[in-house]
């Protein structure tokens, strides 16, 4: 029987206090670790190698197939990030301005990567909500290493309303530089949180 985390902690504390620390709580109470919940924060750049290792296909993808499949996933993750409130407002400009530039970056990565290794590249899931920047990352399933991080941040220049600034970072410079993809104007009003 698996006990809830709060009950395990309470039992450990009760045993320790009641016995003045002379009796050690059972190892099953001390060692039981629960997997992190969906609400638990996790670093943007960490990916479990096991998460998608089974998804790596045994047949190599062509560069065209890789780009097409990756773009489908990129669009899905982008719209999940935008949510119901932001997506309808910026959709047209996102499709005409930002997506072609994202595709250029993905195509450039596909050109630099040996074709037989494309099957190991994946698009991260769960874009950040609230005011976080992460849309999705391209990473290697076999190592968990990020290659390119696609982000969007809010900008509010004085007297100029709110803008969404789309950009990406690459592993080539340790994800330090911002490479701009474009900006989309929101309005003078504060935009809602992502994923709402």
Tens-place pLDDT, residues 53-104 = 444 445 678 999 999 999 999 999 999 999 999 999 999 999 999 999 999 9
pLDDT at 46: 52
Dihedral sign (CA 108, 112, 113, 116): positive
60 three-class SS: coil
Place of tokens 């809602």: 192
Q: Does residue 68 belong to any structural domain of this protein? A: yes
pLDDT at 186: 96
pLDDT at 10: 73
Q: Does residue 50 belong to any structural domain of this protein? A: no
Q: What pTM was computed for the model? A: 0.72
| CB-CB neighbours of 58 under 10 Å | 5
179-185 and 121-123 as β-strands: parallel, antiparallel, unpaired? Answer: unpaired
Place of tokens 């999705």: 136
Q: Does residue 35 belong to any structural domain of this protein? A: no
> What string of pLDDT tens digits covers the 196 residues of the chain?
567 776 677 776 777 666 666 666 666 655 544 333 333 334 444 554 444 444 444 567 899 999 999 999 999 999 999 999 999 999 999 999 999 999 999 999 999 999 999 999 999 999 999 999 999 999 999 999 999 999 999 999 988 999 999 999 999 999 999 999 999 999 999 999 999 9
Question: Are residues 111 and 173 part of one domain?
Answer: yes
Is residue 81 a contact partner of residue 94, using CB atoms and an 8 Å limit?
no
Question: Are residues 61 and 24 part of one domain?
Answer: no
Q: Does residue 45 belong to any structural domain of this protein? A: no
Closest C-alpha to 90, from 169, 160, 154, 180:
154
Q: Does residue 42 belong to any structural domain of this protein? A: no
pLDDT at 16: 67
Q: Does residue 142 belong to any structural domain of this protein? A: yes
Is residue 136 a contact partner of residue 150, using CB atoms and an 8 Å limit?
yes
pLDDT at 67: 96
pLDDT at 159: 87
Total number of domains in the chain: 2
Q: Does residue 40 belong to any structural domain of this protein? A: no
Q: In terms of residue numbers, what domain contains 25?
A: 1-29
Q: Does residue 49 belong to any structural domain of this protein? A: no
């Amino acid at each position: 029987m698996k006990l809830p985390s709060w009950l395990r902690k309470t039992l450990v504390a009760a045993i320790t206090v009641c016995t003045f620390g002379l009796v050690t709580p059972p190892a099953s109470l001390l060692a039981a670790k629960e997997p992190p919940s969906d609400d638990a924060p996790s670093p943007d750049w960490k990916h479990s190698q096991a998460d998608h290792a089974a998804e790596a296909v045994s047949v190599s993808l062509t560069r065209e197939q890789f780009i097409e499949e990756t773009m489908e996933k990129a669009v899905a993750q982008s719209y999940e990030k935008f949510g119901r409130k932001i997506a309808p407002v910026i959709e047209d400009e996102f499709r005409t301005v930002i997506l072609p530039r994202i595709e250029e970056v993905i195509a450039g990565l596909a050109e630099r990567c040996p074709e037989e290794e494309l099957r190991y590249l994946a698009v991260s899931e769960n874009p950040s909500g609230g005011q976080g920047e992460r849309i999705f990352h391209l990473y290697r399933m076999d190592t968990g290493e990020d290659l390119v991080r696609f982000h969007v941040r809010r900008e509010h220049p004085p007297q100029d309303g709110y803008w969404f600034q789309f950009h990406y970072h690459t592993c080539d410079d340790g994800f330090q530089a911002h490479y701009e993809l474009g900006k989309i104007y929101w309005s003078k009003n504060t935009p809602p949180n992502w994923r709402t």
